[in-house]
Structure 1
Amino acid sequence: MIALTSLCAEGTPVLVLEMCRWWLAHNIQPMVVTLNAEPTDLVSEFQQLGIQIHSLNISNYGYRRYGQIILKFYRICHQFQPDALLSMPLGWHTFIAYGARLAGVRRIAAHAGNYPPYWTGTAFQKFRFLIQLGRPVTDILICCSDYVRQGVIKYLGVPESETVTIYNGCPLEQFYQSNSPLQFPSNHVLNIGMVARLEKHKDQPTLIRTAHILKERGMLFKVQLIGEGSRRGEYETLIQQEQVEDCVYLLGMRRDIPKLLSEMDIFIFSAKPDEGLGVALIEAMATGVPIVATAVGACQEVLDQGNLGLLVKPHDSQALANGIIEILSNPKSAKSRAELAQKKVFREFTIENMAKSYASCLGLGV
């Protein structure tokens, strides 16, 4: 049984969908339980695989929701008797786990996809309390990078023995691999893109401000921001304020990411320190597009301290603009880094590696 917040067609739910494909091909039958009924972007794709989906419609308000989660997961686990449970939400996984354990589920794991936000004061203390509360009923926290794992151990007080690192995987067969040399003729309209949820742990505003700088320098370009989220209205306002409506576009949620990546000249991954490991970053690496990313822990780890993509100072639009110009000025170096990044993805970030490792943690034979 896999617990998800919802079936939006981005990030973690897409990752789970790809893992389920591999599991089904190796005689592991998953089922999905969502806390929220909407959005339903991926419902049809899960159903096409023959995967049962159950939505619990958990209330978003008050402490009552915690009791609802325990009771509803107890009931559904008692009904279906899963061999193991994987919770993708972290924090709320505590109540999911108590319900599952009361129903007799033997093996329970939770996914840690972001660095612990220790700088958020009271909110973090509550989060840390939930993690500690869940330890007696959670066998393992699966961290998506060593960076996240180190943070979980240091700031959440979880022993190393209760954690493991499993990198997110990428369905490599879906991505167009570029082997052509980088060419930027003087009249070329540079296609710059970023794929990420429009949420607070990403940093699209810095890229929007970077567009203003590039425009002032007279460059020909367009910036495509791919993804949906709660901050869309805020970003629309910022685009107007920076006067870049003619070159920055919010494309919303898309399911043709491989095609969009293959058309990009430069991929930007502007993230904040709590970034765990962006699936979109791995997808861009698989495509072979040159990358400029912010020098936060997860990006440094994945991009081998800058050997696989340019790393620039976080939350610095001037530094990001300089990184883009660096690629234009040194296309051979950019291509070399992109090729090395591609090789790393095929070696370390496959869906097979991820699915096998998750199955092992959950005690499921493959």
Structure 2
Amino acid sequence: MTGTSDAPLRVLCLTDSCDRPESELFIGLKAAGVDVDVMCNPKGRNYQRLVEQDLVVAPLALRGRFDKGGTAAIRRQLQSKPYDVIHAYNPRALACGLRASKGMDVRVVAYRGVIGNVGAMHPESWITFLHPRVDKIVCVADAIRDHLEGLGFPWSRLTADRLQRIYKGHDLTWYQTEPTDLQPLGVPEGAFVVCCTGRGVPRKGFDDLVRTALYLPEDVEVHYLLVGDVDRNETIRKEVAALPHPERVHFAGYRTDAPQLAAASDVIALPSKSQEGLPRAVIEAMAYAVPAVVTRVGGMPELVDDGVTGLVVPPCDEKALAEAILKLYRLSPEERRAMGAAGRQRISEHFHTSQTVRETVAMYQSLVDGKRRSR
């Protein structure tokens, strides 16, 4: 892969505490021949792995979109070699990267992982995604790309040629750890378990999920495993306390073994109401061959093949969500295993990290080739 003459593409990635897929993307780009440097938060879980791969050129922990020290550090790095592309993975990095690269001949790529909060009425958009020097916005799902294009402002630069969907890739080999024993969390042995992982914010739909218990027949015993800071959400706790069987709802709190908790469950559920991208919790559970129940929000219908790898229901519909859970409950263990296996295969074939690397390299190359033609 070439940037100018016979030199490799030179890319500076600006991020924060990058997750496993992002870290493996950087490693894969290097293996593909890209001269990739990374500035990221030294407190991140994968920071040392990137250091060991000789990818980190400087630690970077931006405090906001107007971080002067961080912007100066980025500019110093940009002056150290002739980069072809800056790839910023969050709005803070994008805003600071744009200011740091002012006056430089470098392409700017942004990353967008959720729907919402971008547009003319959002002032921060003008220093990030609507900035005139943003050449490409990589969207983690078709739904995000379509949403941005559909905003419909011809002067906003959110046009089809500047929007590209690249799925955030995973690898099944990352998910080999044994499922976690759920009994210490109060889950009875052999219970049918619906796991939900996420932040305890209203848009995640934990309230809709716990209320599905009200729609289930009396003879159907379903246990709910809620993972994340939702255990601190007093509204949800009151909802649970009002259920006929509150003892069937288990708050796990924040856990570092969330994928293994999902692996030990019968179903992964994510009843988001809005602003969803390509949720990692669902991908991780599917990689462990766990069927999914998700809402028709963001990129989730792109993940879950309705009726094949799980079930897709309308958002904010407790009854439809309950019916989906009941349908999976009524399946035989063999039928659920077949659905889970189909989900695992879908992750392997359509959301693999090698595909993310290939598409990202091709995108970089097209930007560099376009820069040459414009000269």
**Common fold by TM > 0.5:** yes
Change in Cα spacing, 1:307 to 1:126, as seen in structure 2 (3 Å) is farther
Q: C-alpha separation between the residues in 2 aligned to 1:76 and 1:363?
A: 21
Percent identical pairs in the alignment equals 20
Q: C-alpha separation between the residues in 2 aligned to 1:323 and 1:16?
A: 32
Greater fraction helix? 1
Q: Aligned ranges for residues 1-366 of structure 1 at < 5 Å? A: 1-4=12-15, 6-7=16-17, 13-34=19-40, 40-52=44-56, 54-60=58-64, 65=66, 70-79=71-80, 81-90=82-91, 93-102=94-103, 104=104, 106-117=106-117, 124-131=121-128, 133-134=130-131, 136-155=132-151, 157=153, 158-176=158-176, 188-199=190-201, 201-210=203-212, 217=218, 219-227=220-228, 233-234=232-233, 238-243=236-241, 244=246, 247-254=249-256, 256-331=257-332, 334-363=336-365
Per-residue deviation, 1:205: 3.3
Provide Cα deviations, 1:173-201, integer angstroms capped at 9, x if missing partner: 123599xxxxxxx9831222123344565
Instruction: Verify the 8 A CA contact 2:226 2:249 in the aligned structure 1.
Output: no
Aligned partner letter, 1:351: T
Provide Cα deviations, 1:92-146, integer angstroms capped at 9, x if missing partner: 62442232354x362321111112347xx99x53244345642x32221111111
Q: C-alpha separation between the residues in 2 aligned to 1:53 and 1:194?
A: 37
- Segment of structure 1 superposing worse, 323-332 or 161-170: 323-332
Aligned partner letter, 2:14: A
1:194 alignment partner, SS class: strand
Provide Cα deviations, 1:145-175, integer angstroms capped at 9, x if missing partner: 1111111111274110111111111121123
1:168 alignment partner, SS class: coil
The aligned counterpart of 2:9 is none
Provide Cα deviations, 1:210-259, integer angstroms capped at 9, x if missing partner: 45766x9465444333345xx6632x5522552246632234141x4553
1:110 alignment partner, SS class: strand
Aligned partner letter, 2:45: D
The aligned counterpart of 2:183 is none
Change in Cα spacing, 1:201 to 1:87, as seen in structure 2 (3 Å) is farther
Change in Cα spacing, 1:91 to 1:54, as seen in structure 2 (3 Å) is closer
Q: C-alpha separation between the residues in 2 aligned to 1:343 and 1:241?
A: 37
Change in Cα spacing, 1:199 to 1:237, as seen in structure 2 (3 Å) is closer
The unaligned stretches of length 5 or more in structure 2 are 1-11, 179-187, 369-375
1:54 alignment partner, SS class: strand
Aligned partner letter, 1:303: V
Q: C-alpha separation between the residues in 2 aligned to 1:253 and 1:359?
A: 34
**RMSD after superposition:** 3.5
Instruction: Verify the 8 A CA contact 1:174 1:258 in the aligned structure 2.
Output: no
1:296 alignment partner, SS class: coil
1:272 alignment partner, SS class: coil
Change in Cα spacing, 1:298 to 1:130, as seen in structure 2 (3 Å) is same
The aligned counterpart of 2:182 is none
Change in Cα spacing, 1:327 to 1:294, as seen in structure 2 (3 Å) is same
Instruction: Verify the 8 A CA contact 1:176 1:258 in the aligned structure 2.
Output: no
Aligned partner letter, 2:161: S
Q: Using CA pairs below 8 Å that are at least 6 residues apart, which structure has the higher relative contact order?
A: 1
Provide Cα deviations, 1:59-104, integer angstroms capped at 9, x if missing partner: 44xx8x26665444223322355442211114762442232354x3
Change in Cα spacing, 1:232 to 1:342, as seen in structure 2 (3 Å) is same
Q: C-alpha separation between the residues in 2 aligned to 1:232 and 1:54?
A: 37
Instruction: Verify the 8 A CA contact 2:267 2:291 in the aligned structure 1.
Output: yes
Provide Cα deviations, 1:311-339, integer angstroms capped at 9, x if missing partner: 12312333322221110112365444433
Instruction: Verify the 8 A CA contact 1:98 1:137 in the aligned structure 2.
Output: no
Instruction: Verify the 8 A CA contact 2:14 2:87 in the aligned structure 1.
Output: yes
The number of residues matched between the two structures is 338
Q: C-alpha separation between the residues in 1 aligned to 2:214 and 2:250?
A: 9
1:79 alignment partner, SS class: coil
Instruction: Verify the 8 A CA contact 1:107 1:363 in the aligned structure 2.
Output: no
Aligned partner letter, 2:305: D
Q: C-alpha separation between the residues in 1 aligned to 2:93 and 2:177?
A: 38
The unaligned stretches of length 5 or more in structure 1 are 179-185
Instruction: Verify the 8 A CA contact 2:206 2:271 in the aligned structure 1.
Output: yes
Q: C-alpha separation between the residues in 2 aligned to 1:50 and 1:150?
A: 36
Instruction: Verify the 8 A CA contact 2:305 2:311 in the aligned structure 1.
Output: no
Per-residue deviation, 1:352: 0.4
Instruction: Verify the 8 A CA contact 1:111 1:141 in the aligned structure 2.
Output: yes
Instruction: Verify the 8 A CA contact 1:88 1:110 in the aligned structure 2.
Output: yes
Aligned partner letter, 1:242: V
Instruction: Verify the 8 A CA contact 1:108 1:362 in the aligned structure 2.
Output: no
